[in-house]
Amino acid sequence: MGFLIKMVAYLGKLENFKENTIYVNPSSDKNGKVVMLFGEDTFELPLFDEEAIQERLGSISDQFTLDITDLDLTVWAPIVRALVLGKLKTNVIYHAPSEYWDVFPIDRDFGGINTEISTKIEPIQGFTPVFSSDQPQIFVPILGFQGNRALYLYNAIEPRSADIYPIISLRGLKPTHYQDALISNRVFLLKDAIYRRVKHIYVFGYKETVNFLQELAQKFPEHKIRIGLLGPRIQCLGAIVCASRNPDKFELIYDHPKPYAPVLPLKRIKVEVSHAEINEN
């Protein structure tokens, strides 16, 4: 009941509490079980048991919405994978910050959001392996405002510069989103002229992200496509869906950064990806 009261109060502030939506406790243990809220019912599920997630969530409704707002990627990615493989009709929503520069701490050296590097690259549960293939590789970093993370993955993976295809958001919630992203990642993009192969995708472009990754898969049939999950959550959702369906082709690379706290209250805007879009390909 405590979790229910807490979530209702939290979601009430977002003005988005809906009975047909599944909310996951942001404090859930990403290494074990997650607590979920659906209507007035709360229940606990093992995060890494796909069949348990599919059976329980499939029994509560033939179609529902999953809210991934404020969840760690290592929590919501395994849930999405289970739902995709179980072919459940799941809409995914995310309440994105309407502004970043005014609420997150800035890294003066990189000109982007200040993120403390975790110095570890480990598989996300259910998405393996990492760096274990002898196939030639294509590196696709989904860039956000944390250029230090992009450099970290680049140095760890050591791809050929000709095999890097960064995704950067063309525009966002404010006019300077694109310029801000370029400035944040300028050190990485200028390295070996990586900027010449940038792919521009709308910040909430789920379908565009999926299409681009599939185009790369067709263009490079012998290559392993390694995707760096650094940027917008909806673009990362597209990568996670692709990797869920075709793990032999797509590999997710994540550096498990330490979470940062906004310095001012966040303003939010809701973004939704429908189950029809997720199940389209």
Q: Which amino acid is at 192?
A: D
Total tally of structural domains belonging to the chain: 2
Residue 66, pLDDT score: 95
pLDDT at 4 over 90: no
Q: Are residues 13 and 78 in the same domain?
A: yes
pLDDT at 214 over 90: yes
Model confidence, pTM: 0.87
166 is a domain residue: yes
162 is a domain residue: yes
- Could you tell me which residue, 98 or 48, shows the higher pLDDT? 48
Q: Are residues 231 and 127 in the same domain?
A: yes
Q: Are residues 126 and 248 in the same domain?
A: yes
Q: How far apart are CA 187 and CA 147, in angstroms?
A: 7
Q: Are residues 236 and 117 in the same domain?
A: yes
CATH of residue 213's domain is: 3.40.50
Q: Are residues 61 and 193 in the same domain?
A: no
Q: Are residues 80 and 163 in the same domain?
A: no
Q: Are residues 243 and 267 in the same domain?
A: no
Residue 101, pLDDT score: 47
Q: How far apart are CA 203 and CA 231, in angstroms?
A: 9
Residue 118, pLDDT score: 55
**How many other β-carbons are positioned within 10 Å of the β-carbon of residue 28?**
21
Q: Are residues 9 and 117 in the same domain?
A: no
14-18, 221-225, 238-242, 264-268: range with highest mean pLDDT? 238-242
Q: Binning pLDDT at 50, 70 and 90, where does residue 95 land?
A: confident
Residue 265, pLDDT score: 53
144 is a domain residue: yes
Q: Percentage of the chain with pLDDT > 70?
A: 78
Q: What is the DSSP string of 138-180?
A: EEEEE--S-HHHHHHHHHHH---GGGB--EEES--SSTTHHHH
pLDDT at 147 over 80: no
Q: Percentage of the chain with pLDDT > 90?
A: 38
Tokens 């493989």 belong to: 85
pLDDT at 107 over 70: no
Range 250-261 average pLDDT: 82
Q: Binning pLDDT at 50, 70 and 90, where does residue 92 land?
A: very high
CATH of residue 65's domain is: 3.30.420
Question: Lowest-confidence range among 28-32, 94-98, 158-162?
Answer: 28-32
Q: What is the DSSP string of 230-267?
A: -S-HHHHHHHHHHHHH-TTTEEEE---PPP---SSPPP
Mean pLDDT estimate for the chain: 81
- Could you tell me which residue, 88 or 174, shows the higher pLDDT? 88
181 is a domain residue: yes
pLDDT at 171 over 70: no
pLDDT at 102 over 50: no
Q: Are residues 23 and 52 in the same domain?
A: yes
User: Domain containing 61: what range?
Assistant: 2-98+263-276
pLDDT in tens, 6-45: 555 555 544 555 668 898 988 776 568 888 988 778 899 9
Q: Are residues 154 and 224 in the same domain?
A: yes
245 is a domain residue: yes
Q: Are residues 84 and 156 in the same domain?
A: no
- Could you tell me which residue, 229 or 20, shows the higher pLDDT? 229
Asked if residue 137 lies in contact with residue 260, where contact means CB atoms within 8 angstroms, the answer is no
Residue 111, pLDDT score: 46
Supply 253's token pair: 């690379």
Contacts 24+ apart (CB under 8 A), 110-113: 110/146, 110/147, 110/148, 110/184, 110/186, 110/187, 111/147, 111/183, 111/184, 111/186, 112/144, 112/145, 112/146, 112/147, 112/148, 112/180, 112/183, 112/184, 112/185, 113/144, 113/145, 113/146, 113/184, 113/260
Range 40-58 average pLDDT: 91
Q: Are residues 110 and 242 in the same domain?
A: yes
258 is a domain residue: no
